[in-house]
């Protein structure tokens, strides 16, 4: 019997990004190394930012996004933001949740 070609506009999504990324995907190891390096730079990042004002995009996420742009040869930040809108692998690597808004390029 042929199934119906219908989309479900579900109200809630229970997608775990961690579970969507294959355990042996090469970006898992790269992300681990990058996170360790960024953890060692935490004090330097803290010194660069003010204690008051509007919160910025975390520099760790910006660095991970730039790394994705380099690794996948994405030509511009605008294209990177477009791809991060729908690419779960990129969202996971950068640290964005599935419902988190993507930054304005």
Question: How high is the pLDDT of residue 54?
Answer: 85
With a cut of 80, say whether residue 46 has pLDDT above it.
yes
The band of 25, judged by pLDDT with boundaries at 50, 70 and 90, is very high
90 vs 85: CA distance, rounded Å? 9
94 vs 5: CA distance, rounded Å? 33
pTM: 0.84
Q: Is the dihedral of CA 71, 77, 80, 85 positive or negative?
A: positive
| pLDDT (average), residues 66-90 | 96
Question: How high is the pLDDT of residue 73?
Answer: 97
The band of 99, judged by pLDDT with boundaries at 50, 70 and 90, is confident
Question: How high is the pLDDT of residue 9?
Answer: 62
Residue 48's nearest CA partner among 65, 34, 60 is 60
């Amino acid at each position: 019997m042929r199934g119906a070609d219908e989309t479900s506009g579900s109200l809630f999504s229970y997608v775990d990004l961690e579970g969507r990324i294959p355990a042996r995907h090469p970006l898992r190891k790269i992300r681990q190394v990058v996170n360790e390096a960024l953890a060692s730079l935490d004090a330097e990042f803290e010194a660069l930012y003010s204690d008051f004002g509007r919160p910025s995009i975390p520099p760790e996420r910006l660095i991970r996004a730039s790394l994705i742009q380099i690794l996948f040869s994405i030509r511009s930040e605008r294209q990177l933001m477009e791809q991060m809108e729908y690419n779960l692998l990129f969202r996971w690597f950068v640290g964005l949740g599935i419902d988190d808004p993507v930054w304005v390029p």
